[in-house]
Structure 1
């Protein structure tokens, strides 16, 4: 989909953002926090739209962020009668659009860095995350002994995490040789070394959410594979990391 028209990719990201936000709200709702789901989804989609340079108008990211926060605070005050309940609703209503909407909106930002370079960067990102996840799973299952976070995710090990980072570095190098042959090797290695831990952190962030909500899967959208967030959690922090690295060190700009 990243190799089709830019608007189709933005639409796909919007669907994923909406679905992921709904799942996150559902998990938080199990804690009695009562997130304002319609506002959460609207907030998340507005943030994603601000990253789309193809819009006929310029929408700074600060605008949906500001309006979203103000609207959610006002809605929480109207929805709850006690101060603690209001605070719980505000927190639960802000987390999904920021964790899902803001983070995944950087996928649209990456696509907008250039017609060709944006598509290739997305391929690099997906390859690093996919191979990192695969390496972590198989190495962790085979030789994982040192538990990383037994409370949040008992199956994750430091051995698997190290394998994920090495796999991400290898994937970044391969993608760079293929798509960016003029890019210095150090950037390929640094990008891979950053995306590996970022993918792990995104996975752990979603695990924290599920553990707090007492659920095994984020949803039932994909039978046998959990919910939407279970499929894209490794992208949550990896996408922003790649986006800002390209902006800061590679001279990329929308």
Structure 2
């Protein structure tokens, strides 16, 4: 497992850096949009494994959100949400005689479409900000350093379960190891790509992103447990699927975008 994780990281990380730093806007949006679109498919394969109609409808809604977010136009995003709400409720009313179950399914559909189709494309919005590519690298460095440190600390010293009902393998010690790695990754990224940040700001952002990332990770574990699935997919050997890789990123990237957009 560790060898597969390292091999995958060794291939993916250099490609990510090249795309983040040198890709034209349309290509970066296409890469993020493609990853998000794949994540949408993963989510609805978990949520509705035996309900083809619900799965197709959910994927269509999620892809519509991805396209609207990739446009970086608030008007397109608002229109996509209005269309999804009107069509979703109308579909439930007209095509689902069991409308109580239909409304519950619609809730799962909106959850997946927004969780992947709205939150992940915030990378596109963040990337388009002044120094946006460096902020993207900063966040990825924070998340990857935390993921690595949490993995090793958890295996070596994990004793106390963090939330066993949601994720039996996660421990308090591993969570603290993640935060230490987040701080280290943020400090290194500050030195390399954002030297104008103060140490205090860099560390606060890194730790805040780490806390949000762990909440996002647990939320994804909660969804997988609800859907009785261990991993969301297979795209990244040793790492699982797209959802398994983005769970610690989708909450931080959205809030980091607003921090950079409003306060920097």
Q: TM-score range by the shorter chain?
A: 0.7 to 0.9
Matching residue within 107, 127, 131 for 1:91: 107
Higher helix share: 2
Superposition deviation, residue 197 in structure 1: 1.0
Asked if 1:126 corresponds to 2:140, the answer is yes
Question: CA 1:153–1:58 in 2, change beyond 3 Å: closer, same or farther?
Answer: closer
Residue-by-residue CA offset, 1:57-80 (whole Å, 9 max, x unaligned): 773432212221222222222331
- Partner of residue 15, structure 2: none
- Partner of residue 186, structure 1: 200
- Partner of residue 28, structure 1: 47
Asked if 1:200 corresponds to 2:214, the answer is yes
- Partner of residue 223, structure 2: 209
User: Which region of structure 1 is more displaced relative to structure 2, 128-137 or 218-227?
Assistant: 218-227
Matching residue within 9, 14, 34 for 1:15: 34
What is the TM-score with the length of structure 1 in the denominator? 0.88
Superposition deviation, residue 105 in structure 1: 1.5
User: Could you tell me how far apart the structure 1 residues matched to 2:56 and 2:45 are?
Assistant: 12
User: Could you tell me how far apart the structure 2 residues matched to 1:177 and 1:222 are?
Assistant: 29
User: Could you tell me how far apart the structure 2 residues matched to 1:248 and 1:138 are?
Assistant: 36
User: Could you tell me how far apart the structure 1 residues matched to 2:105 and 2:154 are?
Assistant: 37
User: Could you tell me how far apart the structure 2 residues matched to 1:19 and 1:10 are?
Assistant: 14
Aligned length: 245
What is the TM-score with the length of structure 2 in the denominator? 0.85
Asked if 1:44 corresponds to 2:58, the answer is no
User: Could you tell me how far apart the structure 2 residues matched to 1:110 and 1:192 are?
Assistant: 16
Contact 1:27 1:209 in 2 (8 A): no
- Partner of residue 105, structure 1: 121
In angstroms, what is the RMSD of aligned CA positions?
2.1
User: Could you tell me how far apart the structure 2 residues matched to 1:224 and 1:170 are?
Assistant: 24
Residue-by-residue CA offset, 1:212-246 (whole Å, 9 max, x unaligned): 11111112334554222112221121211211221
User: Which region of structure 1 is more displaced relative to structure 2, 39-48 or 201-210?
Assistant: 39-48
Contact 2:59 2:113 in 1 (8 A): yes
Question: CA 1:195–1:27 in 2, change beyond 3 Å: closer, same or farther?
Answer: same
Superposition deviation, residue 139 in structure 1: 0.4
Contact 1:25 1:35 in 2 (8 A): no
Contact 2:213 2:252 in 1 (8 A): yes
Question: CA 1:208–1:58 in 2, change beyond 3 Å: closer, same or farther?
Answer: closer
Residue-by-residue CA offset, 1:99-136 (whole Å, 9 max, x unaligned): 1111102111111113xx11111111111111111111
Unaligned runs of 5+ in 1: none
Question: CA 1:58–1:199 in 2, change beyond 3 Å: closer, same or farther?
Answer: closer
